[in-house]
Structure 1
Amino acid sequence: MTSSVLYGSAAAQSGAEHIETPVAYDAILLAGFGGPEGQDDVIPFLRNVTRGRGIPDERLEEVATHYRHFGGVSPINEQNRELLRALQAEADRRGLGLPVYWGNRNWAPMLDEAVTSAYEDGHRTVLAIATSAYSSYSSDRQYREDFARVLGTESGTGLGEGDDPMTIDKVRLFFDHPGFVEPFYEGVRDAVTAWLESGLKANEVRVLFSTHSVPMADAERSGPRDRDFGEGGAYSAQHRAVAQYLMTRLADEFAGAADVDWSLVFQSRSGPPTQPWLEPDVNDVIADLPAQGVKAVAVVPLGFVSDHMEVLWDLDNEAKESADEAGLAFARTRTPGVHPAYVAGLIDLVEERLNGTPASERPHVTDLGPWFDVSRPGSDENVRLGFKPAAAGVAP
């Protein structure tokens, strides 16, 4: 078939769901969110995050207090530096001969700089890894829009056009890849089994899988539009599927854990009260647990790849405070970070595309995977902004 895949490799131009022919990528692009690295960076950074929404600095300062609590430094950039080094080391260990470049959406080093550096170094066929695992506008499509913007002439570098263009593809969303999931399993296992071994009953322990809330209208448009994923769209369905896998695996490996209950909760909403966002909020759920006979709660940051601000502030601070007020034992389990299984898994995704691995041979732990190499038409629409040009997917 022919398609309108923007700035994609020759193989991706087919528009196929999975690219099962080898592609000779010559560089990897690690695409991150970015974060301030000093007090003077905080407000400019938040302006970048909220650009186009007309939010005054006074309101931004309310969010800025979270960053100022940590000296104005978000941990996310240093975490991405560590991930960059780990990915490069793993790629080198496998002899792939691929340099890894790193660029952010909202703060230095910016994506424009990273892409320009890669181009100047002679690279033309780039494969991107975004630091987000799930379907939604902000975790998938917005990165693809960034790639199209950077490669285009209107507001970017124009490196994707002309006689010697660069292309950027993107690895499949990795929410259910074993390498991403393993660190979460280890955290759930350790927290739950420790409490059970201490004498708590299974019905006195609760596991809450937490992820970033998004507007309900956007959530319902996450994933391909020709599939019904239920309430909350593909975004919620993917989280639920991974959480179910983790708890089923826990019950299979530890008989006493079979009756431990769990739920999917949301955090870090930032929209106006009149706008419906995904619920329930993690803090509201924690407050209700004592009435259900629960004595210990493990919060699993399932939607996050590292311990950045939404984890350190919203979970380690606010959720823990809610648990303390409720008289509950509290554990916040680990994020993938630079866990060896996660790093190896990301490079496995790169090798899938280098080798053209058939979809039937790609590892995944839920029935939703393996997810698509080329995003499907209409995926992850932003209701407020509509469809903008986006790389690594079939338009719109």
Structure 2
Amino acid sequence: MTKTIGLLVMAYGTPYQESDIEAYYTDIRHGKKPTDEELKDLKDRYQFIGGLSPLANTTQKQGEALCDALNQDYDDVEFKLYIGLKHIHPFIEDAVQSMHEDGIDEAVTVVLAPHYSSFSVGAYNTRAQKEADKFGITLKHVEHYYQQPKFIQYWTEKINETLTEIPKDEHDKTVLVVSAHSLPKGLIEKNNDPYPNELKHTAELLEQHSDIIHVAEGWQSEGNTGTPWLGPDVQDLTKSLFNEHGYKHYIYTPVGFVCEHLEVLYDNDYECKVVCDALGVHYYRPAMPNTDPLFIGAIVDEIKNVY
């Protein structure tokens, strides 16, 4: 008889419709409503990428692909999918409560973010654990999967495919910009958080396995808190790389994200491209993992390490 195990897939969340934007933004700001100007700025960004982010639909598809892959690999258990979001319904707590209502007493959790930080993945896990403890549900957490061979293979293949678009004699004038979502610098340093080192390790693995010659690490999409965040920002990094090395081709791999959404479609495809255009250099951004079998397989392999 197979045992049913919960698969709690957690992600940031995104507005489902324009009327959700204010409440969503308020939740991100810990209950503080955005000003009219801040709200208009966010709505304008969504309009620029087509009205709303594709994140909600992609998160659902990623969860379903992961659940299907696990059920193909495991004979003695059946995984049942639950989606829990950080800033919009269904919230993480809602998903855990649904597990309880379905009679689930054991679950594996995974966040759709490859690198561990106590402020990102750790915070998701803490919320899930706190709610699960109320119902006696046992959770096993995936903390990261950026180091999984299939994850590195996915990005290696995408980098090498992009390099075929660039003349071979200009590969030495090409740089790979590896990035993740920035976080407040003071909090990272105070807690000796592994997040920056995990991004650095990712960049090293991509340099080792791909055909790229030059690699640089950057951060993006920092919040407006008035305090320093991890840097350099990818836009500033692009300018400094051009000024110091004269690179002609810039390949952006926002490896800290796992699909196309606002931070990639706007912060990379618009803001970074504007900088590249101003410098007269070429902008490239390979496709994001979404539901690619290599990406899904990397998470499956990491789940096998914890369950």
Does TM, normalized by the shorter one, top 0.5? Answer: yes
Aligned residue identity for 1:331: Y
| Deviation sequence 1:143-195 (CA, Å, 0-9, x none) | 023214434xxxxxxxx33xx62222211311211222222111212223431
Counterpart-to-counterpart distance in 2, 1:304 and 1:261 = 21
Aligned residue identity for 1:191: T
Counterpart-to-counterpart distance in 2, 1:75 and 1:87 = 18
Q: 2:107 aligns with which of 110, 126, 141?
A: 126
User: Residues 145, 57 of structure 1: CA spacing in aligned structure 2 closer, same or farther, 3 A cutoff?
Assistant: farther
Aligned residue identity for 1:300: T
Q: 2:155 aligns with which of 161, 178, 184?
A: 184
Task: Give the structure 1 partner of residue 180 of structure 2.
Answer: 211
Task: Give the structure 2 partner of residue 245 of structure 1.
Answer: 205
1:268 paired with 2:221, answer: yes
User: Residues 169, 107 of structure 1: CA spacing in aligned structure 2 closer, same or farther, 3 A cutoff?
Assistant: same
Task: Give the structure 1 partner of residue 270 of structure 2.
Answer: 317
TM-score w.r.t. length of structure 1: 0.71
Counterpart-to-counterpart distance in 1, 2:171 and 2:299 = 37
SS in 2 for 1:99: strand
Determine if contact 1:305/1:336 at 8 Å carries over to the other structure.
yes
Tell me the CA shift for residue 41 of structure 1.
Answer: 1.0
| Structure in which a larger fraction of residues adopt strand | 2
- For 1:159-170, list aligned pairs within 5 A: 160-161=133-134, 165-170=136-141
Structure 1: any 5+ residue segments left out of the alignment?
Answer: 1-23, 152-159, 226-232, 252-256, 355-396
The number of residues matched between the two structures is 302
Q: Which runs of 4+ in 1 moved over 6 A?
A: none
Determine if contact 2:141/2:306 at 8 Å carries over to the other structure.
no
User: Residues 57, 167 of structure 1: CA spacing in aligned structure 2 closer, same or farther, 3 A cutoff?
Assistant: farther
SS in 2 for 1:97: strand
Tell me the CA shift for residue 293 of structure 1.
Answer: 2.2
Aligned residue identity for 2:170: L
| Deviation sequence 1:315-371 (CA, Å, 0-9, x none) | 0111111111111111012322111011122122222233xxxxxxxxxxxxxxxxx
Counterpart-to-counterpart distance in 2, 1:183 and 1:148 = 31
Counterpart-to-counterpart distance in 2, 1:148 and 1:129 = 12
SS in 1 for 2:165: helix
Structure number with bigger Rg: 1
- For 1:1-396, list aligned pairs within 5 A: 26-52=5-31, 55-70=34-49, 72-94=51-73, 95=75, 96-151=77-132, 160-161=133-134, 165-197=136-168, 199-202=169-172, 204-221=173-190, 225=192, 233-251=193-211, 257=212, 260-273=213-226, 275-291=227-243, 292-354=245-307
User: Residues 77, 53 of structure 1: CA spacing in aligned structure 2 closer, same or farther, 3 A cutoff?
Assistant: same
User: Residues 167, 265 of structure 1: CA spacing in aligned structure 2 closer, same or farther, 3 A cutoff?
Assistant: same
Counterpart-to-counterpart distance in 2, 1:54 and 1:43 = 7
| Structure in which a larger fraction of residues adopt helix | 2
Counterpart-to-counterpart distance in 2, 1:286 and 1:83 = 31
User: Residues 201, 34 of structure 1: CA spacing in aligned structure 2 closer, same or farther, 3 A cutoff?
Assistant: closer
SS in 2 for 1:137: coil
Q: Which has the higher contact order (CA 8 A, sep 6+)?
A: 1
Tell me the CA shift for residue 221 of structure 1.
Answer: 4.0
Structure 2: any 5+ residue segments left out of the alignment?
Answer: none
Counterpart-to-counterpart distance in 2, 1:247 and 1:71 = 34
Determine if contact 1:43/1:61 at 8 Å carries over to the other structure.
no
